[in-house]
Structure 1
Amino acid sequence: MNARIVLATRNAGKLREFRALLASSPGLSGVDLEGAVIDAGSAGCAEIPETGLSFEENSLIKARAVAEQTGLPAVADDSGLSVDVLGGAPGIFSARWAGASASDESNLRLLLEQLADIAPEHRGAAFVCVASLVVPDAHGGPAQEFTTTGRLEGRLLLQPQGLGGFGYDPILQPSGETRSTAELSMEEKNAISHRGQAFAALREHVVEALTP
């Protein structure tokens, strides 16, 4: 099987999570996912501005652009942290909360500073993810598009905990957990995470795209 799919990201953490999720799919048994699932950089895609005003808009913008640039099926997601006392912010600005070229650590530290005087009982938050799959039509017809949503509820810790994951993982403690998201194994995280939920809901369509 030589079919490939592009994950519209240059984030190595997202690529690892997506491949790990697909690895448990019976329809892909024996498939070399490192060769079949590539990132936007490996596919030679240009940077895609996230000009949408919602997670869904940004997700579809990226998936459509990558599918058009490569001619391959493309999966994209837009995700972020929604904090109750901030009215849902950082939201779509999560990756650049501390500035356009901010690091994960800078974003995380700024958010903790902004919430420093917020009591634990008011630190409710959730990771939200919208994932999209765009499959070009081999005969030039309209592409197929699928969109799914995932949400991981929890609360924000006072300080980072754990070395795993990326982004805001070290400060979100999922509901019912004593650990931060960054302290979960990849398997545990994929089983409950916003991205895991959204990607899992797309999995059947991704398997079809990889096994024409």
Structure 2
Amino acid sequence: MTSAARDAQIVLATRNAGKVREFRALLAGAPALGDLDLDVAVVDAATAGCAEVPETGVTFEENALLKAHAVAAETGLPAVADDSGLAVEVLGGAPGIFSARWAGADATDARNLELLLEQLADIAPAHRGAAFVCAAALVLPDGREVTRLGRLEGTLLTAPRGDGGFGYDPILRPVGETRSCAELTMEEKNAISHRGQAFAALRDEIVEVLQGARER
């Protein structure tokens, strides 16, 4: 573990800054944590000095557990990981677990999004149903694990809208919304998002871990 992470109490097994921001924002609403400095207590895998973990699972849940177990073993700290992606109905659930590398192993978010829109260019609005799916996992250093799932149903737009979020957020309009996920505030997005649902379902266990770390 790097010197910058010595005070960490839990490691978020990702290098994605957007996920780290969302995760800290979700935990910030837990009164039980009081004045805990989440910027210090919750660090990402890069800050903790962890190696990247290959996502070799065939489901979101398998990949989340692979990452969380690897980081917990490497750091000796509780680890939280998620695996998430976009499931498009007319593509049989793809990109799915390949969402982050849909346009290739080194693809950017912009290129992934561009390719998907090209592939769906002739699909009518009535058939552009899709959902963000997330599996979140908490793994303790002793090997105990908890997993939770979240799902956000919506419709794919024909062009990106909004500057917030990341990934495919600019092209998914949630059911009941007129805005894309990228046009929502972070608070609005966390309240309905697949990741927000999955992490919220884990929050009691995570808060318990953080409280225990404070008391030691």
TM-score tier, shorter chain, comes to over 0.9
Structure 1 Cα separation of the partners of residues 194 and 185 of structure 2: 15
Correspondent of 2:115 among 107, 110, 117: 110
Paired residues of 1:3 and 1:210 also in contact (CA < 8 A): no
Paired residues of 1:95 and 1:104 also in contact (CA < 8 A): yes
Structure 2 Cα separation of the partners of residues 52 and 135 of structure 1: 20
Deviation at 1:7, TM superposition (A): 0.3
Listed as ranges, the matches of 1:46-85 within 5 Å are 46-85=51-90
1:174 aligns with 2:171: no
Structure 2 Cα separation of the partners of residues 21 and 144 of structure 1: 23
CA RMSD in angstroms comes to 0.7
Paired residues of 2:83 and 2:97 also in contact (CA < 8 A): yes
Listed as ranges, the matches of 1:92-171 within 5 Å are 92-137=97-142, 143-171=143-171
Aligned to 1:41: 46
Counterpart amino acid of residue 37 in structure 2: D
Indicate the percent of aligned positions where both proteins have the same amino acid.
Answer: 74
Correspondent of 2:32 among 14, 27, 31: 27
Paired residues of 1:82 and 1:90 also in contact (CA < 8 A): yes
Structure 1 outlier segments of 4+, above 6 Å: none
Structure 1 Cα separation of the partners of residues 39 and 63 of structure 2: 25
TM-score (normalised: structure 2): 0.94
Counterpart amino acid of residue 185 in structure 2: S
Deviation at 1:117, TM superposition (A): 0.1
Paired residues of 1:96 and 1:107 also in contact (CA < 8 A): yes
Listed as ranges, the matches of 1:84-95 within 5 Å are 84-95=89-100
Q: Which runs of 5+ in 1 are unaligned?
A: 138-142
Paired residues of 2:8 and 2:43 also in contact (CA < 8 A): no
Structure 1 Cα separation of the partners of residues 21 and 52 of structure 2: 20
Counterpart amino acid of residue 17 in structure 2: A
Deviation at 1:112, TM superposition (A): 0.1
Paired residues of 1:129 and 1:151 also in contact (CA < 8 A): yes
Deviation at 1:110, TM superposition (A): 0.1
DSSP-derived class of the 1:31 partner: coil
Aligned to 2:12: 7
Q: Which runs of 5+ in 2 are unaligned?
A: 1-6
Counterpart amino acid of residue 174 in structure 1: P
1:187 aligns with 2:209: no
Structure 2 Cα separation of the partners of residues 103 and 181 of structure 1: 18
Deviation at 1:3, TM superposition (A): 5.8
Deviation at 1:26, TM superposition (A): 1.2
DSSP-derived class of the 2:162 partner: coil
Query: What per-residue deviation string (whole Å, max 9, x for no partner) do you get for residues 184-203 of structure 1?
Result: 00000000000000000000
The count of residues paired between Structure 1 and Structure 2 equals 206
TM-score (normalised: structure 1): 0.96
Deviation at 1:72, TM superposition (A): 0.3
Structure 2 Cα separation of the partners of residues 4 and 15 of structure 1: 14
DSSP-derived class of the 1:67 partner: helix
Structure 1 Cα separation of the partners of residues 118 and 42 of structure 2: 38
Structure 2 Cα separation of the partners of residues 172 and 29 of structure 1: 35
